[in-house]
Structure 1
Amino acid sequence: MEPDPSSSSTSSTILNVLSYILVVWYFFMVVLSLFGQYIGQSRYRHKPKPVSSKLTFSEAQGVSIIRPLKGVDLELEANLRSSFVQKYPKFEIIFSVASPEDPAIEIVDALMKEFHQVDSRLIIGDHQVGINPKINNMVESYRTAKYDIVWVLDSNVHVDMDTLGRSVDQLMIPGIGLVHHLPIAVQPANYAAEIEQIFLDTNHAKMYLAINGVGIASCVMGKSNLYRRSDLDKVGGLEKFGKYMAEDNIIGEALWHQGLRHRMSADTACQALGPISLKGYCARRARWVRLRKYIVTAATLVEPFTESVVCGIMGAVGSRHVFGTSILGFFCVHWTWWFINDCFLYRTLVRSSSLHTLNAQKPLRILNFLRAWISREVLALPLYLYAMAGTKISWRDQEYRCISDGTAVAINDKNEAVEPLLTS
């Protein structure tokens, strides 16, 4: 029996279409990566002088800086000190801690005495408005803040002294409702920490910058965010988001749906890593994916196809059918280019970080960078698949189970889910 010519033609057409789709997707990712690189080089190499910082006390917009605390993070004193030394005429600092026995209190007390001229206070005790301990910790600070502009700044990050001024400049632009800063990692003390740094300062930074540069949807991490309390109160205030573990993304979307766009200033939120275990790195990446898969499902499903290994294979296979190129040759060129692109962005971000000038932070040596970069890229897909298959996360010594509506429940020692408390 002779083969059906029409069937063979249909298969060939489908193969050609799929090949073109693979090629188009690959070059789309190349353009997106170059766009992220362009933003990184242009924004963080040349930081503008803030205009708002030159205003008088009566002219300036007041800002309430809220710093939630739990335990003593690496470089905690330097992190908190960076709030006190902001070159801005009108702000207060509110430190929030849940327990009166928390060791962070001693550091806060010492800094408040040292900078007694700065308007600052410490609030001890949380309000159980939901499952999210960070929100529970901040509710009283949010309610009692003196000013409408609120800057929520995590305790494990350090910022430049001009960050507040530049951020207020951005927030004053008409139509802007949230200003956020690129999270980067510095000071890795071992191999696993180097992998974590490479992830945050290359692939994550590149995509974060590119997506926010396009600006077609909300894409926010909660390490360092400024917004107006009056805007958030229109959708129920901070406590409404206590039932979500990834409250930063949900808050960003709530403001976005009011027609308020987001901006990034030329500043980074720098986290000192110190030593971490390989298991700890894997747990962080799994937590990241599991929190996002129910909140930004489409973006999470697409994520593997943005990574260098899968994207490179797609490009190599598609190019083989469309242009007749060697699959191995294409992939080698692709991976070399991807590595160089990431390396340039990494060195720019580390050198421009505020911790670079504070602690003489230097980029990794090229061999250390290469080792960590290859490890990160090779681990990306297995970690993603592992994360997508589960729902359990660990955060601040407590385990939670993620639910499909974006909320979560705590898990007690007997591995039984505990319903979250949703009332204040």
Structure 2
Amino acid sequence: MPHALAQAVEIATTALAVAGMAYFLAVLVAARIFLHQRRAQRSEFSPGVSILKSLKGLDPGMLEAFRSHCRQNYRGEFELLFGVWSLDDPAVTAVETLKAEFPQCEIRLILCPERLGTNGKVSTLVQLAVHARHEFLLINDSDITVGPHYLERVMACFASLPTPQKDAERMGQQAKQVGLVTALYRGRAHGSLPSRLEALGIAAEFMGSVLLSKWIERGMHYGLGSTLAVRREALERTGGLLPLVDYLADDYELGARVARAGDRVELTSEVVETSVPAYTWRGLVDHQLRWARAIRCSRPAGYAGLVVTHGLSWALLNIVASGLSPLSLWLLALSFFLRLAQAMNVGAGVLADHEVISNLWLLPLRDLIAMAVWIVGFAGDTIVWRGERFALKGGKLVKVAQS
């Protein structure tokens, strides 16, 4: 490598490693602010809630996840609506088992055979919403496990007072009511090393970026698929679920539309758990690329800004670029320390993910994979989702014909 080019690479990786350390510090601050502001959300406000779940096949721990929704300490009424494309779907057996175990709960299995768009999950949700009896709809993924106070704490957010008028005026806004509530989540790995890396990435990478964006942007402006609780009137102001049937990041898009329509998006104190499949390496890469390209389509500037989130990887590359210079060794040591602090504060502190500490030794590998996926994510528009191949066009899914 020519000397001038080598020097440029060394300078660039040094600058990016320093920027990465600043990012790690910012996430630490955002996490501390969230922990300081977080309180157990309790309220007498207990409206009726319709929980909608789109099903396709069996996910690890699915039945136990369903059971957790039936064990709620909630004063109000709630119902569970499960939608399937076909009654031959193996998830039907899990729903029938649930109904037998919890006869006191309002549980309905609904056939949703219409394919309204390329996003099959949203197609099912559109058809389920027609059958919902209550004013509040709560959508979450089929593998989400929740605590016994989940509904109580999520719905308490809707009882929050609108943005104080004085604060709203200072921010150039009108007072807003809460239109949608979303939730942080942790991952439960199942067996394989790629599964552990995925769960570690959720706790040590993705959730930290959510907390930082909430702090910098003075609130949430999008939703997470772990929980999308929405007022019907707020949903109707966005045009409902039907306009989302071709979007990949439907959760992000729904929250963004609620925010643009003039309602607040709130982040509950409750943390839920997602089940991470026992991925193969190919499955992990496919999932990570789908995630990366969804973010790139939803937040292009934000995706480019992810360059600073890879501070540890830049510090490792700086070691190579500098030929093991003393400065590069100090940069790596400090970067690794801050990265560990961020992972522990967000993963163990905010998310109560007890697997994070035992998996900390995997952080360098996890971060190198994440940076490689981020770079590849800039190119190409093809993703694989539940065995089907799609192209992304403006955030929407276009089915790719099988060759």
TM-score with structure 1 setting the length: 0.80
1:140 paired residue number: 127
Counterpart among 201, 219, 224 of residue 221 in structure 1: 224
Q: Secondary structure at the match of 2:83?
A: strand
Give the Cα–Cα distance (whole angstroms) in 2 for the partners of residues 28 and 176 of structure 1.
Answer: 32
- Amino acid of the structure 2 residue aligned with 1:32: A
Render the CA deviation track for 1:248-292: whole Å, top value 9, x for unaligned: 111111100122121111212211225221221111111111122
- Give 1:131 deviation, angstroms: 1.2
Distance 1:47 1:115, change over 3 A: farther
Q: Aligned residue for 1:92?
A: 79
Q: CA contact under 8 A between 1:187 and 1:272: conserved in structure 2? A: yes
1:340-419 matches, cutoff 5 A: 340-348=341-349, 352=352, 362-363=354-355, 366=358, 368-370=359-361, 372-403=362-393, 405-414=394-403
Q: Equivalent residue for 1:417?
A: none
CA contact (8 A) 1:127 1:139 kept: no
Q: Cα 1:23–1:376, aligned 2, differ >3 Å: closer, same or farther?
A: closer
Match of 1:48 in 2: 40
- For 2:263 and 2:32, the matched residues in 1 are separated by 25
Distance in 2 of aligned mates of 1:219 and 1:162: 23
How far did residue 349 of structure 1 move? 5.1
Aligned partners of 1:32 and 1:207 also within 8 Å: no
Partner of 1:76: 62
Displacement of 1:337: 2.2
Q: Go from structure 1 to structure 2 and tell me whether the alpha carbon gap of 1:49 and 1:182 turns closer, same or farther (over 3 Å shift).
A: closer
Classify 1:47/1:328 alpha carbon distance in 2 versus 1 (closer, same or farther; 3 Å).
same
Q: How far, CA to CA, are the matches of 2:399 and 2:113 in structure 1? A: 17
Residue aligning to 1:184: 186
CA distance in 2, matches of 1:36, 1:193: 27
In structure 1, the residue matched to 2:165 is none
Residues 50, 162 of structure 1: 8 Å contact kept: no
Quick one: which amino acid aligns to residue 243 of structure 1? Answer: D
The answer to whether the Cα contact below 8 Å between 1:26 and 1:315 also exists between their aligned partners in 2 is: no
Tell me: CA distance 1:199–1:25, structure 2 relative to 1, closer, same or farther (3 Å).
same
Q: How does 1:104-183 map to 2 (within 5 A)?
A: 104-173=91-160, 174=162, 175-183=177-185
Deviates most, 236-245 or 273-282: 273-282
List aligned pairs for 1:268-347, cutoff 5 A: 268-309=271-312, 312=315, 326-347=327-348
- 1:314: how far off? 11
1:315 deviates by 11
Larger radius of gyration: 1
Q: Which residue of 2 aligns with 1:243?
A: 246
AA paired with 2:270?
D
Does the 8 Å contact 2:28/2:345 carry over to 1?
no
Partners of 1:387 and 1:41 lie apart in 2 by 32
Asked whether the equivalents of residues 222 and 259 of structure 2 are also in contact (C-alpha less than 8 Å), the reply is no
**How far has the Cα of 1:364 moved from its partner?**
5.5
Letter in 2 for 1:35: V
Distance verdict in 2 for CA 1:273–1:262, change over 3 Å: same
Contact kept in structure 2, 1:211 and 1:219, CA below 8 Å: no
Distance 2:260 2:222 in 1: 13
Letter in 2 for 1:342: A
- Output the CA distance in 1 between the equivalents of 2:329 and 2:66: 50
Relative to structure 1, the CA distance from residue 94 to residue 73 in structure 2 (aligned partners, 3 Å threshold; closer, same or farther) is: same
Q: Equivalent residue for 2:27?
A: 33
1:11 match: none
Higher mean Cα deviation, 335-344 or 152-161? 335-344
Q: Give the Å deviation of 1:406.
A: 1.6
Aligned partners of 2:66, 2:334: CA distance in 1, in Å? 44
Report the TM-score when normalising by structure 2.
0.84
SS at match of 1:113: helix
Gap change, CA 1:345 and 1:27, over 3 Å in 2: closer
Work out the percentage of aligned pairs sharing the same amino acid: 21
Residue 19 of structure 1 and its aligned partner are, at CA, apart by: 12
The farther-off stretch of 384-393 and 330-339 is 330-339
Q: Structure 1 167/245 Cα, relative in aligned 2: closer, same or farther at 3 Å?
A: same
Question: How many residue pairs are counted as aligned between the two chains?
Answer: 371
Structure 1 segments, 4+ long, off by >4 Å, are 18-28, 39-43, 310-316
**Cα offset, 1:242, TM superposition:** 0.7
Query: C-alpha separation between the residues in 1 aligned to 2:145 and 2:239?
Result: 30
Query: In structure 2, what is the Cα distance between the partners aligned to 1:228 and 1:42?
Result: 28
CA distance, structure 1, for counterparts of residue 81 and residue 146 of structure 2: 16
Contact 2:179 2:264 survives alignment (8 Å): yes
Shift of 1:327: 3.6
SS in 2 for 1:293: helix
Aligned partners of 1:136 and 1:77: how far apart in 2?
Answer: 23
